[in-house]
Structure 1
């Protein structure tokens, strides 16, 4: 009986040890799943923050202080840049904007020279007649000659050089719309030439444009995407070389003035 009792006690002890080990494994598995969820949530939050900062910077070109404030907390909706105008508020173009039919059905070719490096251009009035009419008129007037490319982005999927003005400020006397030929998937392939505009405003296009040097994704805002007016047909490596020099000190790490100042020596279309 004594031996039998000891065997029973030993068997019970082993069962208790096995149950304890199972409970420990269950607890460890539960903690692992919880930690994975927390890590995934933090990663998602970081991605959302990066996208919001990127888009706000692209649309509004904030100052260093504004960017720092956004990065610190995106404090409140009232601190976000307000749309300059709704599409319905500026549903017509002014008398200084060329008519779309001057470029409709036409494809223009030409050249833009940046810091002595020539880029071949194709501007497509069959897909974006209003934008093509604007670029053709401004090129003929020499408006771009001597102007700056003031902004460079070097994100892995946000890579462009913005040109046509000395600063990010738009010309309030030269705004137009509507949006044309915006990509359904929000993807702008390398070589794309598209029109910069103010945030959430389909009639907030102006004189500035951007050249994409690496495939870029720009999610649409409430007005839509950005008008694709043409492409670089040769010499895109000149923009890539500008990007390789990086961003000027004092700017955001991936979005700011080019470290190598960029000037449009000439811009012509025929």
Structure 2
């Protein structure tokens, strides 16, 4: 038989057990709330971080478009053949020589896949031409022309420039360049697509060009020695634009050109020593050229091209 003291002790223990159970339940509820809040905070931070990253990442990328532009060799050869057939006898020899150049070029024609449409618009890329005369590193600036730099990088990685020869050398009073990037050696070769123009900024205008502009003429600007730019077939009077792709030129002396050629980078002094060898070798007029604009007498053969970021 229990005493009053024992009953009081038993009641006290039950009360303490009930209070402890209530305290444990309260702690569980508090921990659950803290856990849910933590998950929500982490989720909100993750979502915010994701959108911040997307905005930051989108800001350092550019969306590019590349248009299909195959060259119709058969049509070009047929057109020239018709002109040769009706040309005076004195011009037939040169016409036939050009026809042969086109036929030979058609056999050397290459294509390459279009570059990725999304590309970085910051930083530089080194595109090194491994040539028969030594290395020519091109420092490409994504900020200046991201889509055209992207095109050169893609072409290089696909081997488009491997085992090609720079086909044109110009040495005039206002234009001095070495042009490369056409496997056909005709000036007509391309990978089957074209890039958008990315017009240069901050070039110095040739003195007097502002007066030309006032007369409705196209102004000219100074492209400094060592500049690397994309060759194109743009025609302002015909409204033709966005015709550049694989062919590029290196400025051997400060030159005067309209600001319609996308500048992709420059060649440093060491690389220009190799380019200078070709320029000093002189010009072979070739089939349709002149003593100031033709084929380099000293070939610059691009064996391979390497890319490094």
Aligned partner of 2:305 in structure 1 is 267
The 3-state SS of whatever aligns with 1:266 is strand
Say if 1:249 and 1:259, in contact at 8 Å, map to a contact too. Answer: no
Deviations 1:208-259 (A, max 9, x none): 00011111111x2xxx520000000232011111111111154301101111
1:144, 1:188 → 2: CA distance? 24
Aligned partner of 2:133 in structure 1 is 116
Structure 2 counterparts to residues 173-188 of structure 1, below 5 A: 173-181=192-200, 183=203, 185=205, 186-188=221-223
Match of 1:216 among 229, 237, 255: 255
Say if 2:126 and 2:140, in contact at 8 Å, map to a contact too. Answer: yes
Q: Between Structure 1 and Structure 2, how many residues are aligned?
A: 174
Say if 2:283 and 2:292, in contact at 8 Å, map to a contact too. Answer: yes
Q: CA deviation at 1:269?
A: 1.6
Say if 1:248 and 1:260, in contact at 8 Å, map to a contact too. Answer: no
Flag the structure with larger Rg: 2
Match of 2:266 among 212, 227, 231: 231
Say if 2:121 and 2:146, in contact at 8 Å, map to a contact too. Answer: yes
Q: CA deviation at 1:96?
A: 4.3
1:143 lines up with 2:178 in the alignment:
no
Say if 1:113 and 1:119, in contact at 8 Å, map to a contact too. Answer: yes
Match of 1:127 among 135, 144, 157: 144
CA gap 1:194/1:249 in 2 versus in 1, 3 angstroms: closer
CA gap 1:172/1:232 in 2 versus in 1, 3 angstroms: closer
Range moving further from structure 2, 172-181 or 162-171: 172-181
The 3-state SS of whatever aligns with 2:178 is strand
| TM-score, normalised via structure 2 length | 0.52
Aligned partner of 2:187 in structure 1 is 168
